[in-house]
């Protein structure tokens, strides 16, 4: 059971490992190593929106997110319903509609909508900073600059300065998710599941399955 109880102290190795997973591509070639929980669900939804122009990746990340929602038990609650009806590319922005689907508590729905909207936007921006390096398929921005000194400064900024600062800045993901969990699901704790359990019991895409790998690469029938 994940107690979602974090203090405001120094970053520890456990937090750093979680942040690394949350900013990872969740690809079959780089599958999650830690148990998956609500934070992973939010990161998978973000991936759906981020890859809206690549239908095969939208399909892959939606399959991952839906399997995790089934495991966590909210697939048929207000959050699950909102995500199912949202268009890829606008899923994160649709999260703020969840309070209006929760008919048992409408008295502060407007206030909760505003909070979810701001926190989802913040989470999206923090996640983008932490994961944009995954888009560098060939080289890195500035790797072809001829001025050696300038090229080295670019490298130091992207790989040294950014990473050292993000080690602390990325902790916002964990803090935001604690609040988002309560706003979206009205609970302060949520189970977590190993990748093996998700694959065996809930239909999470198996990274060892050739069909899953082909889908991720866009090489599956119908995606070429």
User: Is residue 102 one of the residues assigned to a domain?
Assistant: yes
User: Is residue 149 one of the residues assigned to a domain?
Assistant: no
Q: Are 211 and 73 in contact (CB under 8 A)?
A: no
At 11, is the pLDDT very low, low, confident or very high (cuts 50, 70, 90)?
low
At 137, is the pLDDT very low, low, confident or very high (cuts 50, 70, 90)?
low
pTM of the model: 0.86
Phi, psi of 190 (to 5 degrees): -150, 145
pLDDT, tens digit (0-9, with 9 covering 90-100), for 52-110: 999 999 999 999 999 999 999 999 899 999 999 999 999 999 999 999 987 677 888 99
Q: How far apart, in whole angstroms, are the C-alpha atoms of residue 217 and residue 181? A: 32
Identify the domain containing residue 130 by its residue range: 13-137+172-217
Torsional sign, CA 121, 125, 127, 128: positive
> Which residues pair with residue 2 across a beta bridge?
190
User: Is residue 97 one of the residues assigned to a domain?
Assistant: yes
Q: How far apart, in whole angstroms, are the C-alpha atoms of residue 136 and residue 164? A: 19
User: Is residue 100 one of the residues assigned to a domain?
Assistant: yes
Q: How far apart, in whole angstroms, are the C-alpha atoms of residue 206 and residue 208? A: 5
Average pLDDT rounded to a whole number, residues 136-164: 79
User: Is residue 163 one of the residues assigned to a domain?
Assistant: no
Cα-based angle 45, 49, 51 (whole degrees, multiple of 5): 115
Q: How far apart, in whole angstroms, are the C-alpha atoms of residue 76 and residue 74? A: 5
Which residues contact residue 152 at a Cβ distance below 8 angstroms, ignoring those fewer than 6 apart? none
User: Is residue 167 one of the residues assigned to a domain?
Assistant: no
Checking phi first, is residue 44 left (phi over 0); if not, alpha (psi -120 to 50) or beta? alpha
Q: Are 211 and 28 in contact (CB under 8 A)?
A: no
Number of domains in the chain: 1
The H or E element spanning position 202 is: helix 195-202
User: Is residue 187 one of the residues assigned to a domain?
Assistant: yes
- Note the Cα 41 to chain centre separation in Å: 6
What number of residues does the chain have?
Answer: 224
Between these two residues, 15 and 67, which has the higher pLDDT value? 67
Q: How far apart, in whole angstroms, are the C-alpha atoms of residue 109 and residue 214? A: 42
Between these two residues, 221 and 16, which has the higher pLDDT value? 16
Q: How far apart, in whole angstroms, are the C-alpha atoms of residue 222 and residue 161? A: 43
User: Is residue 93 one of the residues assigned to a domain?
Assistant: yes
The pLDDT of residue 6? 47
Q: How far apart, in whole angstroms, are the C-alpha atoms of residue 201 and residue 218? A: 26
């Amino acid at each position: 059971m994940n107690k979602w109880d974090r203090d405001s102290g120094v970053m520890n190795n456990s937090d750093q490992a979680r942040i690394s997973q949350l900013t990872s591509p969740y690809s079959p070639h780089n599958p999650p190593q830690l148990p998956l929980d609500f934070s992973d669900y939010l990161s998978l939804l973000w991936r759906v929106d981020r890859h809206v122009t690549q239908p095969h990746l939208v399909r892959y990340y939606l399959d991952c997110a839906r399997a995790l929602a089934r495991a966590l038990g909210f697939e048929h609650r207000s959050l699950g319903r909102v995500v199912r009806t949202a268009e890829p590319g606008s899923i994160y922005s649709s999260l703020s509609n969840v309070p209006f689907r929760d008919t048992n508590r409408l008295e502060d729905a407007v206030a909760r909508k505003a909070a979810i909207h701001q926190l989802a936007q913040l989470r999206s921006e923090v996640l983008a900073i932490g994961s944009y390096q995954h888009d560098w398929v060939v080289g890195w921005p500035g790797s072809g600059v001829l001025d050696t000194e300038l090229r080295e400064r670019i490298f130091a900024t992207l790989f040294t300065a950014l990473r050292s600062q993000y080690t602390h800045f990325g902790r916002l993901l964990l803090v935001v998710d604690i609040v988002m969990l309560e706003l979206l699901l009205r609970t302060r704790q949520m189970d977590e599941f190993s990748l093996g359990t998700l694959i065996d019991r809930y239909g999470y895409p198996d990274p060892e399955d050739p069909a899953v790998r082909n889908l991720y690469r866009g090489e599956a029938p119908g995606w070429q």
